[in-house]
A = this chain, B = another copy of it.
Amino acid sequence: MKNFISIDDVDDPISMVEKVFEIKRAPLADTTIGRGKVLGLVFFNSSLRTRMSTTRAAYNLGMNVIVLNVSSDSWQLEFEDGAIMDQGAVEHVKEAVPVMTSYCDILGVRSFPGLENRDKDYQEEVLHSFVKNARCPVINLESSTLHPLQSLTDLFTIEERKQSEKPKVVLTWAPHPKSLPQSVANSFAQWMKKTDYDFTIVQPKGLELPEQFTRGAKIECHQEKALAGADFLYVKNWSSYHNYGAREDHPEWTITSEKLALTNSAKVMHCLPVRRNVVIADDVIDGANSIVVEQAENRLYAAQAVLKEILKNQQK
């Protein structure tokens, strides 16, 4: 594996999941592969799980870590080609990224979408500027449209917990007080489609995820119908793709114990952070079916597997 930008960097998702199993069984089995190497983590946005799990993953492999919070630690970056830089931006990504990556062996970058200009967000300007200008492998720590470290974790978590060969997995939209990116949902759909699971997306009319990610999945708009028989329920809010960035209010889509009762005692998943009693009701998230915390813990093993694959590739 050279970079880890999206599922396209993974030859076989299920064999990648096998590597996550190996790491989880023995997280400290190989603490020398990263010795003398440094992981850089560049954050344009807040992060708890990604920041901590990826750092821990690097430590477990013997790597050191440098964290850069762009807005507070460093300089405002320019991304536009040909810009006359006499305004706020102090440094162009054309210098910043080769320089950062000359100090690191692997660089992770998180950059959320602006949710104002769909074309710009879906062109993944920031992420692609990093990949294009980097002198070392790049890991996507959640970009405008994708969150593959989360999706690998999600696939692993389902593989670990599934009780039938081809579980029914339902991705359901849920309410949220803010406009959120589509990235987690897009990315989850992309990974699910590589499996032979029975995969359904249920989303209110007007909140359809972009087809390039969902094509091939079953699409529903009636939440209760979609939940019937589900083995895994992946809950997530996203703002509108078609009326780009708009938030819609559908309070009746909150996941409650009544809705959970419609499923095949589904395991409840969410990428976190989750707004309790808005996205998911307390009794569901505190109940026996909720696996959101162990799902988050698995972020560590997924990140470690990705780092290890990249380090192995560097040894060649």
Residues in chain B near residue A277, CB distance under 8 A: 82-85
Partner of A273, one of B91, B104, B285: B91
Residues 88-103 (chain A) with a chain B CB within 8 angstroms: 90-92, 94-96, 98-100, 102-103
Closest-CB distance, A175 to chain B (whole angstroms): 9
Q: In the docked arrangement, what's the CA distance between A274 and B92, Å?
A: 8
Residues in chain B near residue A73, CB distance under 8 A: 43, 46-48, 51, 69
State the copy count for this chain. Answer: 3
A164 close to B (CB within 8 Å): no
Closest-CB distance, A202 to chain B (whole angstroms): 22
Q: Is the interface of A mostly helix, strand, loop or mixed?
A: mixed
A20 close to B (CB within 8 Å): no
Q: Quick check: B36 and A278 within 8 Å, CB to CB? A: no
How many chain A residues touch the partner (CB < 8 A)?
A: 60
Residues in chain B near residue A293, CB distance under 8 A: 95, 98-99, 102
Q: Which B residue sits closest to A105, measured CB to CB?
A: B56
Q: In the docked arrangement, what's the CA distance between A56 and B100, Å?
A: 11
Partner of A56, one of B66, B98, B177, B300: B66
Q: In the docked arrangement, what's the CA distance between A103 and B304, Å?
A: 12
Closest-CB distance, A302 to chain B (whole angstroms): 12
A276 close to B (CB within 8 Å): yes
Residues in chain B near residue A286, CB distance under 8 A: 94
Chain A 250-277 near chain B by CB (<8 Å), digits 1 or 0: 0000000000000000000000111111
Sample 23 A-B pairs with CB under 8 A, ordered by A number: A28-B36, A48-B96, A48-B100, A51-B66, A52-B66, A52-B99, A53-B103, A56-B66, A69-B72, A75-B273, A78-B276, A86-B278, A87-B177, A91-B272, A91-B274, A92-B276, A94-B286, A95-B285, A96-B273, A98-B293, A98-B296, A102-B300, A103-B300
Closest 4 CB pairs of A and B: A91-B273, A85-B275, A102-B297, A48-B74
